[in-house]
Amino acid sequence: MQYAQCPVIFVLDGKAGQGGVFNLSRGGCAIESDLGAASGDPISLQITVPNRPQPVSMELGKVHRATRLECGVEFMVVTGDAQEILDDFLIGMAKEGTST
């Protein structure tokens, strides 16, 4: 099984950062970065998925677990066509037998 990692730019506690997204699903993801998040922190995300000119915007998420180098995020507010783009990407990954 292959694992895809998507680049992400985020804002956490008013500070911009970047990293990689893995374990991506309709409801959330894990982020690998030295962002220094704590459970309960609000976060906004711009996830770059392959074959898309614009990143997928997750306007508001909530950190649910955090370690020094990664955190789990639940998507709380997904605006515009972001959910449809994310769904299309996840369906394509499932058809290829690849997980994020």
Q: Rounded to whole angstroms, how far apart are CA atoms 31 and 84?
A: 21
Over 70: is that where the pLDDT of 63 sits? yes
> Cα-flanking dihedrals φ and ψ of residue 41, to 5°?
-65, 140
**At residue 1, does pLDDT exceed 50?**
no
CATH number attached to the domain at 2-92:
2.40.10.220
For 10-23, letters b (16+ CB in 10 Å) and e give bebeeeebebbbbb
Q: Name the band, by pLDDT with cuts 50, 70 and 90, for residue 100.
A: low
Residue corresponding to tokens 């309709």: 26
Instruction: Give the percent of the chain with pLDDT over 70.
Output: 93
Mean confidence (pLDDT) of the chain: 88
What value does the mean pLDDT take over residues 87-94? Answer: 88
